[in-house]
Amino acid sequence: MEKKLWGGRFKESTNKLVEQFTESVSYDKRLAPFDIAGSVAHVRMLAKQGILSKEEADRIVEGLHKVLEEVESGKFEWKTELEDVHMNVEKRLTELVGPVGGKLHTGRSRNDQVATDVRLYVRHEIEEVLKLLKELRRAFLKQAEEHIDVVMPGYTHLQIAQPVLYSHHMLAYYHMFKRDEERFRDTLKRVNVSPLGSAALAGTSYPLDREFTAELLGFEGVTRNSMDAVSDRDFVAETIFNCAMVMMHLSRLSEELIIWSTEEFGFIELPDAFCTGSSIMPQKKNPDVSELTRGKTGRVYGDLMAILTILKGLPLTYNRDLQEDKEPLFDALDTVKMALKVNALVVAGMKPKAERMREQARKGFSLATDLADYLAKKGMPFREAHRVVGELVAYCLDTGKELDQLTLEEFKRFSDLFGEDVLSLMSVEGSVNSRNVIGGTAREQVLKEIERIKSEESF
Ligand code: ARG
């Protein structure tokens, strides 16, 4: 019977099914580079503190670098019976450098080790997500800049409401993904602290310099309670929540792109390279990327529910349940990264159909609010103006006209306050440009906002 690294007190070897049930190496092996980085820092610190000799530390570090090379070149032989990434790395280290490898784990437990690995991994992944979020924001900004003259209907309840600039609509998404960035950056503060030195749960009797290890690993500080440190996975839940929020935003975008690219709307043309065909209907061009983004949002929500549920009943401190944090975490990050990448390309490649959008922007009595405001500005109480314009809309419905087709004579039938100037007011551009407040859709405001964004972000 081959002994486990922890096998001293055991008389029987582990049941094969139990090995399969309890292993995590099949998925946590992706943590190897972080595990090794954490071990190198730990060993350097042990040497600095005189707990290991300089020679011992050097041999271990050299061995760890060899292990990393094997991992990166794909030569490393992962073994299920060694349970997880930590045991696999340590076992191989000892094969390479001999018994001195056994000194690596001095003053450390897998409990603070795995917490460290996951924090380093999450920090790395958040940096990746931040880059991808920026790419996506850049694509929205570019759309906004390039199509500043395109007017489209703005909707509430998916009913035509008021004309808006397509650029304004694009910048609405810019802001969602900007908030997502802020959320990830905020999470990073709580991710980037070192649990090393917490050991199994109570700290350690070795004179470790926790701050030194933290510094070597680029952590901003050290955790302040060893029991919390080995059982805290709040940062995992937060990270998955942030991913879920990004996916929710992408899913809303997807829903709009799907609707906009229908024959019925015809607002945009999606790039061919990002659509797929039908095996039976030759004419079809389907927005599968958007549909799958919407679908994958469900799975990331599932990851969030999984981590919250895994954590909810855990007594302090470490429990093996915590091993289950990894698959939802990896899945959420993998999914969000792919979704961000592909959607940035979709957004960059889509083309608004300006004519069609403008045509629809006139419809649905989208200028009714402008008319009510017109009367109110001439002194009529807004509520009364609202009623008068409602009657005008009813008249249009009866006669099959749009508001911009009415004559001055017709307007006057509903109120004396209507004058010649009402006719020039009845244009979608006029309507858009009248909404000249900060955050409004007027061209002047949208152009200002584009400039503000460009001064804030280095695109
Ligand atoms: N594979 C474990 C995990 O992911 C590592 C920590 C194991 N610790 C322990 N005491 N069994 O959580």
Distance, CA of 118 to CA of 239 (rounded, Å): 11
Query: Which of 21, 110, 307 gets mutated to test ligand 1 (max ligand atoms within 8 A of its CB)?
Result: 110
Q: What letter would DSSP give residue 130?
A: H
Q: Is the CB of 110 under 6 A from ligand 1?
A: yes
CATH code assigned at 27: 1.10.275.10
Q: If DSSP codes are grouped into helix, strand and coil, which group holds residue 315?
A: coil
Q: Is the CB of 297 under 6 A from ligand 1?
A: no
Distance, CA of 44 to CA of 163 (rounded, Å): 64
Q: If DSSP codes are grouped into helix, strand and coil, which group holds residue 286?
A: strand
**Spatial CA neighbour of 346 closest among 406, 407, 424, 293:** 293
Looking at residue 1, its pLDDT comes to: 59
- Residue having the nearest C-alpha atom to atom 2 of ligand 1: 323
The residue from 157, 205, 424, 458 that is catalytic is 157
**Spatial CA neighbour of 123 closest among 193, 214, 188:** 188
**Spatial CA neighbour of 369 closest among 412, 438, 428, 446:** 428
Q: If DSSP codes are grouped into helix, strand and coil, which group holds residue 351?
A: strand
Distance, CA of 302 to CA of 411 (rounded, Å): 56
Q: Are 242 and 183 in contact (CB under 8 A)?
A: yes
> How crowded is residue 169: how many other Cβ atoms within 10 Å of its Cβ?
23
Domain end call among 61, 76, 106 = 106
Answer yes or no: do 70 and 164 share one domain.
no
Answer yes or no: do 140 and 258 share one domain.
yes
Answer yes or no: do 326 and 422 share one domain.
no
Beta-carbon-side half-sphere exposure of residue 408 (alpha carbons within 13 Å): 10
CATH code assigned at 368: 1.10.40.30
Looking at residue 414, its pLDDT comes to: 96
CATH code assigned at 343: 1.20.200.10
How many independent structural domains does the chain possess? 3
Answer yes or no: do 251 and 160 share one domain.
yes
Query: Which of 323, 325, 327 gets mutated to test ligand 1 (max ligand atoms within 8 A of its CB)?
Result: 323
With respect to residue 213, please indicate whether it lies within any of the assigned structural domains.
no
Domain end call among 303, 335, 359 = 359
Domain end call among 326, 359, 392 = 359
Cα torsion angle, 327, 232, 223, 39, sign: negative
Answer yes or no: do 373 and 450 share one domain.
yes
Ligand 1 closest atom vs CA 85: 1
126 alpha carbon to ligand 1 midpoint, in Å? 23
Query: Beta strand pairing status for 159-165 and 151-156?
Result: antiparallel
Q: Is 157 a catalytic residue?
A: yes
Q: Is the CB of 157 under 6 A from ligand 1?
A: no
Q: Are 277 and 289 in contact (CB under 8 A)?
A: no
Helical packing angle, 382-399 and 368-377, nearest 10°? 140
With respect to residue 4, please indicate whether it lies within any of the assigned structural domains.
no
Answer yes or no: do 66 and 165 share one domain.
no
Answer yes or no: do 250 and 264 share one domain.
yes
With respect to residue 247, please indicate whether it lies within any of the assigned structural domains.
yes
Answer yes or no: do 186 and 305 share one domain.
yes
Answer yes or no: do 283 and 385 share one domain.
no
Distance, CA of 256 to CA of 268 (rounded, Å): 10
Q: Is 278 a catalytic residue?
A: yes
Give CA separation, 372 vs 190, 322, 376, 383, 421, in Å. Answer: 51, 60, 6, 9, 14
With respect to residue 8, please indicate whether it lies within any of the assigned structural domains.
no
Looking at residue 278, its pLDDT comes to: 79
Q: Is the CB of 23 under 6 A from ligand 1?
A: no
With respect to residue 177, please indicate whether it lies within any of the assigned structural domains.
yes
Plot region of 107 (φ>0 → left; ψ -120 to 50 → alpha; else → beta): left
Which tokens sit at 383?
């509520």
Domain membership of residue 442 as a residue range: 364-456
ipTM for the predicted complex: 0.97
Answer yes or no: do 336 and 415 share one domain.
no
Q: If DSSP codes are grouped into helix, strand and coil, which group holds residue 155?
A: strand
Q: Is the CB of 111 under 6 A from ligand 1?
A: yes
Answer yes or no: do 250 and 388 share one domain.
no
Looking at residue 276, its pLDDT comes to: 84
With respect to residue 400, please indicate whether it lies within any of the assigned structural domains.
yes
Answer yes or no: do 135 and 99 share one domain.
no
Segments of 140-190 assigned E as strands: 151-156, 159-165
- Residue having the nearest C-alpha atom to atom 4 of ligand 1: 323
**Per-residue confidence in pLDDT tens, the chain, 459 aa:** 577 888 888 888 889 999 999 999 999 999 999 999 999 999 999 999 999 999 999 999 999 999 999 999 999 999 999 999 999 999 999 999 999 999 999 999 999 999 999 999 999 999 999 999 999 999 999 999 999 999 999 999 999 999 999 999 999 999 999 999 999 999 999 999 999 999 999 999 999 999 999 999 999 999 999 999 999 999 999 999 999 999 999 999 999 999 999 999 999 999 988 888 878 888 888 899 999 999 999 999 999 999 999 999 999 999 999 999 999 999 999 999 999 999 999 999 999 999 999 999 999 899 999 999 999 999 999 999 999 999 999 999 999 999 989 999 999 999 999 999 998 888 999 999 999 999 999 999 999 999 999 999 988
